[in-house]
C-alpha cells in the first residue's frame, strides 16, 4: 500500500508560530506530529509515503531525510500555491500513476489517539474488493458546518455505504452528523477527478467534491473509527492533543 500526506497548508489558524514552524512539525512528546502520522501509515501496511509540502516547509523534508530507520520509502511532492486539500492531493498524482489499489491519505494535521484508524480502514477496503473508505466521526450540530458530511446506508454499527458527501454544509442542509475525519483510502481514479475538479467551497479545490463524483462509478464506504481525532492545526486543538498523548 502507498500513502499520501498533504502537509502544504498555510496554517493560518496557528499564526504566528507557523510563519517559520510548520504545524506538522509541532512536537508531541519528542516527535513531530507528522512522524506519528507516518508511523500510523507504516503500521497499516504502507511501504511508500508521499508527503506534499510547499517550498516554505522544506524543514519537513530535512527532518525525514535524516531518518535512516524509517521502514518506508518517503517521496516528495510540491504544492507551490495553496489552492485547497484536493489540489494538494492532486500534486502527488504522478507518484500513483498506474496504481490500481486504493491510496491511504492521512491529513498532516490530524492525529488520532486510541486505536489507529488506518489499519482497520485497510481491512474494510479489502473486505469490499479494494473499495474506497473514508474515516468518520460524529460531530455536534454546531460544528457540522466545519466539515465534510456524509450520507449513507448502514452496514453495521460503524460502517456505512455512502450515498452522498457535502463539504461544509449548514446544519439544516447536512445529511447526517457524520464528518469526514482526516483519514481516507481512495481509489486512484480520484486523481483524474481532481484534475477536472472546479473550485468549490471557499474557492478551494475540495477533496470531498472529487470523492462525491467518485461515488457515481465506484463504491465508497464510511467507517466511524473508535479512536479520537485531534486537530493540531490550532492552539486549542494542539493542547488537547498533548493531553491525550501524554
Ligand atoms: P487545513 O484545512 O487545516 O488547512 O488543512 P490549512 O490551510 O493548513 O490551515 P489554516 O486553515 O490556514 O489554519 C488540512 C491538511 O491539508 C493540508 C494541510 O497542510 C493539512 O495537513 N493542506 C491544506 C494542503 O496541503 N494544501 C492546501 O492548500 C490546504
Whether residue 201 has its Cβ less than 6 Å from ligand 1: no
What pLDDT is stored for residue 68 in this prediction? 67
Q: Which of 9, 11, 57 should be mutated for ligand 1, with most atoms under 8 A from CB?
A: 9
CA distance 49 to 47: 7
179 C-beta neighbours (distance < 10 Å), count: 23
**What are the pLDDT digits (tens) for 93-146?**
999 999 999 999 999 999 999 999 999 999 999 999 999 999 999 999 999 999
What pLDDT is stored for residue 139 in this prediction? 96
CA distance 226 to 159: 11
Domain extent listing, the chain: 2-245
Residues 204 and 141: beta-carbon distance below 8 Å: no
Q: How confident is the model at residue 67 (pLDDT cuts 50, 70, 90)?
A: confident
Whether residue 22 has its Cβ less than 6 Å from ligand 1: no
What pLDDT is stored for residue 206 in this prediction? 96
In degrees, to the nearest 5, what angle opens at C-alpha 166 toward C-alphas 165 and 168?
140
Give nearest CA residue, ligand 1 atom 4.
9
Give the three cell numbers for residue 94: 504522478
Residues 195 and 149: beta-carbon distance below 8 Å: no
- Tell me what the mean pLDDT of segment 143-157 comes to: 95
Q: In angstroms, what is the span from residue 157 Cα to ligand 1's centroid?
A: 31
Q: In angstroms, what is the span from residue 93 Cα to ligand 1's centroid?
A: 18
- Tell me what the mean pLDDT of segment 208-215 comes to: 96
Which among 128, 107, 119 has a CA at the least distance from the CA of 229?
Answer: 107
> In CATH, what number does 2-245 get?
3.90.550.10
What atom in ligand 1 is closest to the CA of residue 13?
A: 13
- Tell me what the mean pLDDT of segment 60-66 comes to: 93
**What are the pLDDT digits (tens) for 181-210?**
999 999 999 999 999 999 999 999 999 999
Q: Which of 56, 85, 184 should be mutated for ligand 1, with most atoms under 8 A from CB?
A: 85
Spell out a b/e string for 113-145, using b for 16 or more CB atoms within 10 Å of the CB, else e. beebbbebbbebbeebebbbbbbbbebeeeebb
Amino acid at each position: 500500500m502507498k500513502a499520501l500526506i498533504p502537509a502544504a497548508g498555510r496554517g493560518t489558524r496557528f499564526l504566528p508560530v507557523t510563519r517559520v514552524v510548520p504545524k506538522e512539525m509541532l512536537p508531541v512528546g519528542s516527535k513531530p506530529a507528522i512522524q506519528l502520522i507516518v508511523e500510523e501509515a507504516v503500521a497499516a501496511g504502507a511501504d511508500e509515503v508521499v508527503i506534499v509540502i510547499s517550498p516554505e516547509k522544506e524543514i519537513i523534508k530535512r527532518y525525514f531525510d535524516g531518518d535512516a530507520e524509517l521502514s518506508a520509502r518517503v517521496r516528495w511532492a510540491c504544492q507551490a500555491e495553496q489552492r485547497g486539500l484536493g489540489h494538494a492531493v492532486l500534486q502527488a498524482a504522478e507518484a500513483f500513476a498506474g496504481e490500481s489499489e486504493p491510496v491511504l491519505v492521512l491529513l498532516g494535521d490530524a492525529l488520532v489517539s486510541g486505536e489507529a484508524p488506518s489499519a482497520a480502514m485497510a481491512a474494510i477496503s479489502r473486505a469490499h474488493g479494494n473499495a474506497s473508505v473514508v474515516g468518520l466521526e460524529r460531530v455536534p450540530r454546531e460544528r457540522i458546518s466545519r466539515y465534510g458530511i456524509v450520507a449513507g446506508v448502514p452496514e453495521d454499527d460503524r460502517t456505512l455505504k455512502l450515498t452522498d458527501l457535502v463539504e461544509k454544509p449548514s446544519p439544516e442542509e447536512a445529511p447526517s452528523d457524520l464528518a469526514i475525519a482526516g483519514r481516507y483510502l481512495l481509489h486512484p481514479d480520484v486523481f483524474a477527478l481532481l484534475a477536472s475538479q472546479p473550485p468549490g467551497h471557499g474557492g478551494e479545490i475540495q477533496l470531498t467534491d472529487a470523492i462525491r463524483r467518485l461515488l457515481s462509478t465506484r463504491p465508497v464506504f464510511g467507517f466511524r473509527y473508535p479512536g479520537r481525532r485531534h486537530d493540531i492545526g490550532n492552539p486549542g486543538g494542539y493542547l488537547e492533543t498533548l493531553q491525550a498523548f501524554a
